[in-house]
Homo-oligomer: A and B are copies of this chain.
Amino acid sequence: MDIYSKRRAQKIWSVLRFPLFLTGQRYISQAAAKIDVDFDYDGPLMKTEVPGPRSRCLLFVFSCKNAEAVHFFCNYEESRGNYLVDVDGNRMLDLYSQISSIPIGRRQLYQSFLFCPQASTFINRPALGILPPENFAERLKESLLSVAPKGLPQVITMSCGSCSNENAFKAIFMWYRNKERGHNNVTKEELESCMINQPPGCPDYAMLSFMGGFHGRTLGCLATTHSKAVHKLDIPSLDWPIAPFPRLKYPLEDFVKENQQEEARCLEEVEDLIVKYRKKKKIVAGIIIEPIQSEGGDNHASDDFFRKLRDIARKHGCAFLVDEVQTGGGCTGKFWAHEHWGLDDPADVVTFSKKMMTGGFFHKEEFRPNAPYRIFNTWLGDPSKNLMLAEVIKVIKREDLLNNATHAGKALLTGLLDLQARYPHLISRVRGRGTFCSFDTPNDATRNKLITIARNKGVVLGGCGDRSIRFRPTLIFKDHHAHLFLNIFSDILANFK
């Protein structure tokens, strides 16, 4: 923003006083007429470069907030379906959907909440753990419990993904310790030592994680996150074991044997680490893994790899925690990505957030805390998010959006493979499950340039890892959106210098 002098910004600021869209008031009055027809636009419509003058000016006056990551400012009233509209009136096909956190087209929820008979749920946020509203069990049943992974009948809600993983770790540590003490009573020494952060009350337990994984940014989560230095630099951490995640070679059918060996090597390392850490009196109580490492670069492993990892966890008495914060909610074609694996014995704990609108975790009965207030905080989530999730799930079922994700994902992946064949110097390692697709570019600079060009042609993309581009559309992304994108991107690649 250093290209703007303060005076110039003040001049531009005066422009901001006359909004391009007088939406706040207008939308409501048109809602009844519009709601059934206006779920999506028919294509991108670009008026300026992005960020446009209005966005840049807003950024300049936005000095009170950690704003360096801001891409541009948005007009959410005018955004709809698969399209994001910015404050300069640019309408873009959105394949990143708020870092993968939008489940369905937003207009669809308007229908249910615009003249909201549930106003109280939005306004009156209760301390759910102690004073739940009457309909809370029912609300859980029609939202989270209606999509619970098989074998995990229990759920606890949290406000965000990091808190979900933090509390899942805690449930695992408690479970492990209870096992260890043989359900004997807690000793006085444990009760006293825990108050000053010392063992045996605070035992030297660890979660095993994988290089390239991302599980959140609070201190406990961060000790299991290993995707980018910017997340971790300068923050004290814990000496917890970190295993290698398979680095598969593509196309998969050409490297069957190499990839099997690579996965076997990683699994062996997991077992070695568990043993090695136990020898130095640090107990691996659980293993955490993403079905597809997302932030770390959309790294996949085979279903067989995950089945074997689950077996290793059981063999060594460790809990198996599947982090579905980014993969959950249907985008892989199943509601939970780990359902593709065909596990005999379900995961022990599954965490979620983002598209699920509320954070939280599912768990097996035996991971239920053995006393009140052990897994607890003031809010424990937010019932208004459960209310919205219930609506989202209704739409997913009614419109068969899981099958849509499989179908549209196939259209996208097929198109990407075609582009890879035509532009192998720009696109490699095309991969994906459902619409959860991605590809690699030669390097960071090329990747970022492609994202910027695409944005100015009306397509919002997201990066991950050090050179990948990831697709994270909503569940209403259809075949024709895939083709729309592929046409635009094909032109971009043809003209890329």
Contacts and interface: CB of A to CB of B under 8 A. Distances in A.
A378 B101 contact: yes
A192 B368 CA distance: 38
A64 B155 contact: yes
A182 interface: no
Given A117-B28, A236-B238, A122 B384 contact: yes
Nearest to A148: B64
Given A76-B126, A218-B166, A218-B218, A159 B156 contact: no
B194 A233 contact: yes
Contacts of A114: 119
A371 interface: yes
A83 B170 CA distance: 35
B124 A113 contact: no
Contacts of A169: 219
B160 A99 contact: no
B66 A368 contact: yes
A69 B137 contact: no
Interface in A181-209: 186, 190-192, 194-198, 201-206
Contacts of A18: none
B65 A233 contact: no
A252 interface: no
A417 B385 CA distance: 44
The CB with the most chain B CB atoms within 10 A, among A62, A134, A163, A232, is that of A134
A61 interface: yes
Given A134-B73, A233-B186, A197 B377 contact: no
A365 to B, nearest CB: 10
A321 to B, nearest CB: 15
The copy count of this chain in the complex is: 2
Given A218-B163, A229-B195, A113 B119 contact: yes
A237 B116 CA distance: 45
B217 A219 contact: no
A236 B173 contact: yes
A201 B232 contact: yes
A220 B217 contact: no
A64 B61 CA distance: 48
A99 B71 contact: no
B376 A98 contact: no
A27 interface: yes
Nearest to A27: B120
Nearest to A174: B234
Contact of A124 (B106, B136, B153): B106
Contacts of A197: 223, 232, 237-240, 242
Interface of A: 19, 24-25, 27-28, 54, 58, 61-62, 64-66, 68-77, 79, 84, 87, 98-101, 106, 109-110, 113-127, 129-134, 136-137, 140-141, 145, 153-156, 159-163, 166-167, 169-170, 173-174, 176-178, 186, 190-192, 194-198, 201-206, 211, 216-221, 223, 226, 229-240, 242, 353-354, 357, 368-369, 371-379, 384, 388
22 contacts: A28-B117, A62-B137, A66-B129, A66-B368, A68-B373, A75-B133, A76-B124, A100-B378, A101-B127, A109-B123, A116-B122, A122-B122, A122-B384, A160-B163, A170-B217, A178-B234, A196-B226, A197-B223, A197-B232, A197-B238, A218-B220, A230-B373
